[in-house]
A and B are shown apart, each in its own frame.
Chain A
Amino acid sequence: MKADIRVALVGNPNTGKSTLFNVLTGLNQKIGNFPGVTVDKKVGYSTLPDGRVAEVIDLPGTYSIYPKSQDESIVFSVLADRANALSPDLVVVILDASNLKRNLLLYSQVADLKIPVIVALNMMDLAKKADINIDVDLFAKKLGVPVVPISARKVDGIDKLKTAISFANKIALQEDSIDVLSIAPQLVESIGRELNIDNPYLALQLAHQHETLKFLSPAENERIEVLEKEFSFNSQKAQGAETIARYAFINDLLYDTVKKPINAESETHSNKIDKILTHKVFGFIIFFAILMFMFQAIFTWSALPMALIADAFVWIQNSLHSILPAGPLTSLLVDGVIAGLSGVMVFIPQIAILFAFISILEDTGYMSRVTFMMDKLMRKVGLNGKSVVPLIGGFACAVPSIMSTRNIENWKDRMITILVTPLVTCSARLPVYTLLIALVVPNRNVWWLFNLQGLALTGMYVFSLVSAVIVAWVFKFILKGKERGYFIMELPVYRWPRWSNVLYSMYERSKAFVFQAGKVIIAVSVILWVMASYGPGDRFAKIDKQYSQAQYTRHMSADSLSRTVSSAKLENSYAGVLGHVIEPVIRPLGFDWKIGIALITSFAAREVFVGTMATIYSVNGSAEKMQSVYEKMHQARNPKTGQPVFTLAVAFSLMMFYAFAMQCASTVAVVYRETKNWRWPAIQFAYMTVLAYAASFIAYVVLK
């Protein structure tokens, strides 16, 4: 789409910036990445009253132009770099009218960069309710910029804002807020002269942020460094002095433009809710009740759509098999690519539901209360209050949970959360556990009430949480954090969730998952398909030849013959050969080469285990034929000893392996996407495999 003017939205978190963005652009938006970083870039288009089209960029919410996280650092680099492809013609600063003081800090910083600015005074309805009276005309006059009162939630004043955008000046007219030169006069002057920058505040910001800015040349960077030393510039002291000067300006500005009720002591609505939701006892009870509900919903609500998606793919696969001529190309497309796609698509319902909950909890302001309540507990094991949500989400699926760790600002806390989240028992482990437990744990009750099989399954869930906490605690000592951990966080006022934002979030996250993690999953599926469909040398030809002899074709039904052939082929495929190769390694765990194949194929996704077992024990069918997989595995005997293969020791050893091993290509892909460095998925894969092997070995030795 061709745009006539580019507008950037800037504002504090919780000021309704995303709501305004959605109102301005509707569904006419797309999400990408800012070049070189994982920060989501939201761009949309809005038609102005004069018929021109505005490209609107939603910049990450921030309290100040000095960044505290990777997301926040985008704001300054987009605004400051006039050569940037995203450099805006106009900035709309969104201010929360009910909390103007703190909001104005960011405004005054942005305004001093001397880019044309418009102020959108949001939440006017809330300000009125709180008896805050703002003299908008005087306010606009003092700032020297257009000020448009709006209420984004109620879609109030949006037309006026659009009109203001279309009439916006091409040059910055705002009044100066503070005397920037007084903070570091010689340094600002020298940088301005040498780098040819006429805006003193931009020069000062370059001194502060030059190390992380990509648009400066190495020579410029070095020069700034030298100048800083020459004039003994202390970044933190300068920032402190600037902040104090800015608040002096803000207090002066607000003095005669805003009238607040003197008697502001009356208890607010939000405070009353907090008394219950962060109560010593009820606080935790309510939190666990919400978690239980969320957990149940992710399971039960997603069951039907997931089954429908899986069925749809089976139908597509069957139809393609019957339409297309049989051959390796068809097989690659249907059993490799489409099978891989179905593995991606089947997670969409869980991702969408999890993100619907997360978006509601964040929108209402409850999420920051959970963080507030859990911070002390989580800090003890090296995590952060904000780690609670991804860990709980891990019960459904690690993929969206790892995506939701982005709001953890502290690098070390976020990495540990990402590293341990896949240990939590996700829904893909469920079919594996239920099958193995059914094989070896008797289906009877103890103490009348508790079913032994149910107890074993519950045990696996509790065990996974405990192991995640222990591993987090160990990583606390291994990882070295560069930044100091701190927890200075706004507790926003409670509000109703905006349902349109919830829907946007479900849609966006699912789309991002399908397109970005999907590529890797399909690639891995194709590799697995090749390994399972081809064998070294002429082994496959020999099998075909052997089973086409009369003694087989005459005495076996066509169905059972094809099963026997595919079973023999699997044993001789690259995957089968690999199974035999790794057999010596996994024998101490009680596994044979057949289980070895299942382990290898499960590295694409855990639930592949059931399917692989079905193929190996030559049962045709998928999950619906669990019973027959169960029977075959139940009857499986060790050819040498004649004893059952799946003993209590083997089954538990296998479960331990699945509990710890990183058998999920989607998670590997998403960890790479979130960390932008292969080192992290590699470390995670390595530690989880080591733990899996050790736990499996111990389980086998103890139970044998």
Chain B
Amino acid sequence: MRLSQLEVGEKGIVKEFTDLEMSVKLMEMGCLPGEEIKIERIAPLGDPIAINVSGYLLSLRKREAFTIVLQ
């Protein structure tokens, strides 16, 4: 299951990443293995998405969300 497959309002827990470069950037922003993520909203045109992680709102493109594997 990838983060990009979740619907608005759904939650998941990060398991691992498929892309090293992206994982480094995401982890810096508090998006680490073991963290719970909730999809807060999707941009009006379908991309990017906004997620709630580590207590704040983070936006990322679906392509980037696809590199996050959930438990």
Contact = CB atoms under 8 A, between A and B. Distances in A.
Interface of A: 63-64, 66, 68, 98-99, 101-102, 105, 236-237, 239-240, 243-244, 247, 260, 264, 270-271, 274-275, 278-280, 283-284, 368, 372-373, 375-377, 484, 486-493
B60 interface: yes
A372 B48 contact: yes
A240 B47 contact: no
A490 B46 contact: no
Given A101-B55, A102-B56, A240 B30 contact: no
Contacts of A243: 24, 27-28, 32
A486 B22 contact: yes
Contacts of B21: 236, 484
B50 to A, nearest CB: 6
Contact of A488 (B20, B25, B46): B25
Contacts of B30: 101-102, 105, 247
A487 B33 CA distance: 20
B15 interface: no
A498 to B, nearest CB: 20
B20 A101 contact: no
Contact of B61 (A237, A240, A247, A486): A486
A274 B57 CA distance: 11
A491 B58 contact: yes
Interface in B22-44: 22-30, 32-33, 40-41, 43-44
B30 to A, nearest CB: 4
A666 to B, nearest CB: 34
Contacts of B18: none
A484 to B, nearest CB: 7
Nearest to A380: B45
B4 interface: no
Contacts of B45: 373, 376-377
A383 to B, nearest CB: 14
Contacts of A68: 25
B28 A105 contact: yes
Contact of B48 (A247, A264, A487, A490): A487
B58 A489 contact: yes
A375 B28 contact: no
Contacts of A487: 48, 59-61, 64
Interface residues of B, number: 31
Contacts of A283: 44
B5 interface: no
B53 to A, nearest CB: 9
B71 interface: no
Contacts of B22: 486
A239 B21 CA distance: 10
Given A105-B30, A240-B23, A490 B56 contact: yes
Contacts of B23: 240
A375 B43 contact: yes
B20 A236 contact: yes
A491 B57 contact: yes
A368 B58 CA distance: 11
A486 B27 contact: no
B65 to A, nearest CB: 10
Contacts of A99: 54-56
Given A101-B55, A491-B57, 20 more contacts: A101-B54, A102-B29, A243-B24, A243-B32, A244-B33, A247-B32, A260-B55, A274-B40, A274-B50, A279-B44, A375-B43, A375-B47, A375-B48, A376-B46, A377-B45, A486-B22, A489-B59, A490-B29, A491-B59, A492-B57
A373 B33 CA distance: 28
Contacts of A264: 55
A321 B24 CA distance: 65
Given A99-B56, A243-B24, A490-B58, A278 B64 contact: no
8 contacts: A102-B54, A105-B28, A240-B23, A243-B27, A244-B27, A284-B44, A372-B48, A377-B45
A372 B46 CA distance: 10
Contacts of B46: 376
A387 B46 CA distance: 19
B43 A488 contact: no
Contacts of B43: 278, 372-373, 375-376
A645 B46 CA distance: 53
Nearest to A271: B40
B4 to A, nearest CB: 13
Nearest to A270: B57
A491 B43 CA distance: 12
A196 to B, nearest CB: 29
B46 to A, nearest CB: 7
Given A243-B32, A283-B44, A284-B44, A375 B61 contact: yes
Contacts of A237: 20
A63 B55 CA distance: 15
The 6 closest A-B CB pairs, nearest first, are A491-B57, A102-B30, A376-B45, A243-B27, A280-B44, A64-B28
A275 B41 CA distance: 9
B40 to A, nearest CB: 7
A60 to B, nearest CB: 16
Contacts of A236: 20-21, 24
A556 B18 CA distance: 86
A102 B46 CA distance: 27
Contacts of B20: 236-237, 240
A101 B50 CA distance: 19
Given A68-B25, A102-B29, A240-B20, A488 B44 contact: no
Nearest to B33: A244
B52 to A, nearest CB: 9
Contacts of B41: 274-275, 278
Contacts of A105: 28, 30
